[in-house]
Amino acid sequence: MQMLWFPLTLLCAFSLATSDALTKRALAARHNEYLIAWTRLLLMLPALSALLLTVPVPPLGRDFLLTLLAALPLELAALILYFKALKLSPLGLTVPFLALTPVFLIVIPYLVLGERISPAGGSGILLIATGGYTLNMRRGAGLLAPLQAILRERGSLCMIGVAAIYSCTATLCKMGITQSSPLFFAGLYPILLFICLTPVAMWKARHELRLIRHSGLVSATLLPSFFSCLEVIAGIIAISLTNVAYMIAVKRLSLLMGVLYGHFLFRETCLRERMAGGLLMIAGVVLIVAGET
């Protein structure tokens, strides 16, 4: 049971990368990013509702409510920025900046939850972050090339904001899980996020609402929704079984998977150069797992 978090996190990473790639394809078809985000959550509701109906409701106190009130506005802001990043820039120039999240998580869970990181685990996290950074490098470019790309790519800026917010929401989610239960939180949290997103999406996409039935939006979002639901459930169970920083760091293998999807689905270039970063990330994962066993 102790190492169950690792295969669950790998499943979470694969589901996240697949959902992102399929969402990127839907955005390439010029669907509104707010409607894509909203529809993706809408199509998850039946499965999440069924999950809530099958798990016992744990005792819920005031602290649980306060945790949700803190997490949901941040999650909503991150979701909007995330979809904007996917729409504005190539996968290979946006998702690598999510590698910053585990670095922030070395400190935040320790301050909030008292979770300590082993030397091997800390080294692994830094290797994953470094690998995620170098995923953005190209042939003939210098070490600062990814940072210079930030000035050209608005999507990269959006994703840096997402990385910072996720370091907070991941910690808050771990608090919510400990104040309830993993499966209950996995069912409830996305539903509440859907409720929060609905007025924003309805306003931002108000001129396109009448096109939903005939634009192919639902069919384009069906598979992303399936993998997003799988990601949520696997991720929340995994994060309940280990340190937040370890789980999120290993989950960032989705960045490497995202680069592969970018190359094979969207013909994004420089795959060979980015593989060096992928090897660093894999070495980081090995260190984290070795430190946990």
> How far, CA to CA in Å, does 143 sit from each of 24, 103, 123, 138?
28, 19, 20, 10
Q: pTM of the predicted model, to two decimals?
A: 0.84
What confidence score (pLDDT) does residue 92 get? 62
Question: Rounded to whole angstroms, what are the CA distances from 25 to 90, 99, 137, 165?
Answer: 11, 23, 23, 25
pLDDT of residue 146: 58
Q: Exposed/middle/buried for 25, CB within 10 Å: 0-12, 13-18, 19+? A: middle
Task: Quote the crossing angle between the two packed helices 244-251 and 253-266, to the nearest 10°.
Answer: 20
Query: Given this model, what pLDDT does residue 172 score?
Result: 95
- pLDDT score of 218: 79
Domain positions in the chain are 5-292
Those residues with Cβ within 8 angstroms of residue 89's Cβ, 6 or more apart along the chain or in another chain: 153, 154, 155, 156
Q: Which residues of the chain have pLDDT under 70?
A: 1-2, 27-31, 91-93, 95-96, 136-147, 149, 209-215, 268-270, 273, 292-293
Q: What is the pLDDT of residue 31?
A: 67
Q: Indicate the residue type of 163.
A: A
pLDDT recorded at residue 87: 76
For residue 190, the model assigns a pLDDT of 94
